[in-house]
Amino acid sequence: MWKWLHPYAKPEKSYQLAGKLLPWFAVVTVVTFVVGLVWGLLFAPADYQQGDSFRIIYIHVPAAMMAMAAYSTMAIAAFIALVWQIRLAEMNIAAIAPVGAVFTFIALITGAAWGKPMWGAWWVWDARLTSELILLFVYLGIIALYNAFSDKVLAGRAASILTLVGVINLPIIHYSVVWWNTLHQGATIMKLDKPSMDPAMLWPLMIMIVGFGAFLGTLSLMRFRNEILARESHRPWVSVLVTEKLAGEK
Amino acid sequence: MAFDSLADFFAMGGYGFYVWLSYGITFFVLIFLIVNSMNKKKKIFKSVEQRLSREQRIKKAQNMEGTL
């Protein structure tokens, strides 16, 4: 039943599939960003307490959510890489980690710029903020570890193990606002109850979450293709690809 | 629309600095990531290209040997 998946364990096939998916993700990203930002910045009503400062939510929450989604994806890939020794799963980790790190950075920076007017401080050692900062360090650690080895088999294994160790941080981030008495507010969307947000504000947020998800997909696919090319650069199929591209330019 | 004028929009009800700081940094970082990912691909193509042309040159030189 799942045999159709087998050819995609071949780097060349995976490279082509990623190339086919890439434009779709890019289109979804552009459309959702335009619609979500125009709606969120221009048409969503101002918050009754926070005024217009709440509009930071349209990048803060999607970035934070997708930073965690990216990590979850990496963790699944790490498990696959370690158990079934699939090299493409390791390349997947290396491809996603920089995107996840950037998203985490965005969540922290926008959170600081939101915290200053609302809490009166750029930074507090609150449980949510601290665990998110640790996520950034874990991401940077994975990237550094992967690049520290010139032997990419070893690099992939080391990065996979570190990725799995770092998974412990995900539930801590999610439940930090429940387990500790934090300054950061509790869950608004990611809870079993109905979202505690007006639809006029919630819709653009949902669109931006899809947008950041699609952006994550686009960049991951781009970097995944790069990773395959770099690791397979001595294979004949890459040579053919490059010569064909050269012939196309002439 | 939530704003009356363009100046109103940029002021963001007095929170303009914080809002535009957030959006500015976000877009700067996202663009950086896109450019970085594209450049990486170009670099890999270039290095493969160089290796291929080097191999071709070596082959050519080997074929020339003994013909002089």
- Residue A133, Cβ density class (10 Å: 0-12 exposed, 13-18 middle, ≥19 buried): middle
Mean pLDDT calculated for residue range B20-48: 96
Scanning every residue of chain B, which has its alpha carbon at the shortest distance from the alpha carbon of A201? B2
Say yes or no for a CB contact (<8 Å) between B12 and A117.
no
B48 and A102 in contact by Cβ < 8 A? no
Of A58, A67, A175, the residue nearest A114 (C-alpha): A58
3-state helix, strand, coil in chain A (%, to 5): 80, 0, 20
In the predicted structure, residue B1 carries a pLDDT above the cut 90: no
Q: What is the pLDDT of residues A153-190, one digit of tens each?
A: 999 999 999 999 999 999 999 999 989 888 898 888 87
**How many angstroms separate the CA of residue B13 from the nearest CA in chain A?**
6
Taking the model in full, what pTM does it have?
0.93
The amino acid occupying position B25 is: I
pLDDT of the residue at A1: 79
Q: How far is A163 from chain B (nearest CA, A)?
A: 21
- Residue-level pLDDT at A250: 65
d(CA A78, CA A85): 10
Q: How confident is the model at residue B68, as a pLDDT?
A: 65
Q: Does A162 touch chain B (CB under 8 A)?
A: no
Residues of chain B with C-beta less than 8 angstroms from the C-beta of A225: 41
Of A117, A230, A243, nearest to B18 by CB-CB distance is A117
The pLDDT assigned to A113 comes to 96
Measure the CA–CA gap between B45 and A190, rounded to whole angstroms. 43
The pLDDT value recorded for residue A15 is 94
Q: Encoding tokens for residue A32? A: 């959702």
Buried b / exposed e across A83-114, counting CB within 10 Å, b at 16+? Answer: eeeebbbbbbbbbbbbbbbbbbbbbbbbbbbb
CA atoms within 13 A on the CB side of A224: 27
Q: Is the pLDDT of residue B23 over 70?
A: yes
The answer to whether the CB atoms of A113 and B18 lie below 8 A apart is yes
List of chain A residues whose C-beta atoms are within 8 Å of the C-beta of residue B53? none
pLDDT under 50: residue ranges of chain A: none
